[in-house]
Amino acid sequence: MLFLDELPEFPRMVLETLRQPIETGEVVVARANAHIRYPCRFLLVAAANPCKCGYMSEPARACARAPVCGDDYMGRISGPLMDRFDLRVEVPPVAYTDLDLPPSGDSSAMVAARVAQARARQTARFAAHPGMRVNADVEGALLEEIARPDTEGRALLLQAADRFGLTARAYHRLLRVARTIADLEGADAVRAPHMAEAISYRLMGVPEAVGG
């Protein structure tokens, strides 16, 4: 795992060098007389404040340039790089009154168990396909086969692709994420709720939603 905190603060040239290794799982070092390839398969996780000062979502504390400052700050990240993030989650500030509340939701142990079961399903799925371990490794016809959504799910996917101008990369990444969500649920097929959840992660922050 490669974790980059405050992603927009990294030099753009450095960030752009990550694009190809994310896709191929390799990094290429080019010299005058040789090109050397090294394995470089990693999970990229990044975090960023919504703007330079970090208070864009709090009108009482935000700077005078909000919300333009947020567009400028996140604009440091190129579209092609952002297109490679499968999940985008906005985390609102935690109120002081919430800090004393009891834990809610599933425990880490329960989530870990679901993840282990999903990984086991994928291991069994790709047993006959050398070099493939998880859904993220799948491309082409096999991806269409294992992640083909039901009729309603495909309609959602096509609607999102048309309305938001999704790239071919985004289209296939949505299929992989939806297949993984179905695996976490223990479902054999990708259905509309799985596809809707996958779309919601990719479109986080977009001002209109599918069907809105």
CA distance 137 to 149: 18
**What pLDDT is attached to residue 10?**
95
Q: What is the mean pLDDT of the chain?
A: 88
What's the confidence (pLDDT) of residue 122? Answer: 96
What is the number of helices (H) and of strands (E) in the chain?
9, 4
pLDDT under 70: residue ranges of the chain: 204-212
Q: Enter the tokens of residue 121.
A: 């399903």
The per-residue pLDDT for 105 is 82
Cα 51 to Cα 8, 69, 182, distances in angstroms: 9, 6, 34
Q: pTM (2 decimals)?
A: 0.85
> H helices of the chain, where?
12-16, 19-24, 68-74, 79-82, 108-125, 140-146, 151-164, 168-185, 192-202
Opening angle at CA 117, ends 139 and 155, nearest 5: 45
Residue 179's pLDDT is 97
**Bond preceding residue 67 cis, omega within 30 of 0:** yes
Cβ-proximal residues to 3 (8 Å cutoff; 6+ apart), any chain: 45, 46, 47
Q: At which residue do the structure tokens 């080019």 appear?
A: 30
The secondary structure element, H or E, covering residue 105 is none
What pLDDT shows up at residue 63?
A: 77
* The pLDDT value given to residue 206: 47
pLDDT at site 208: 39
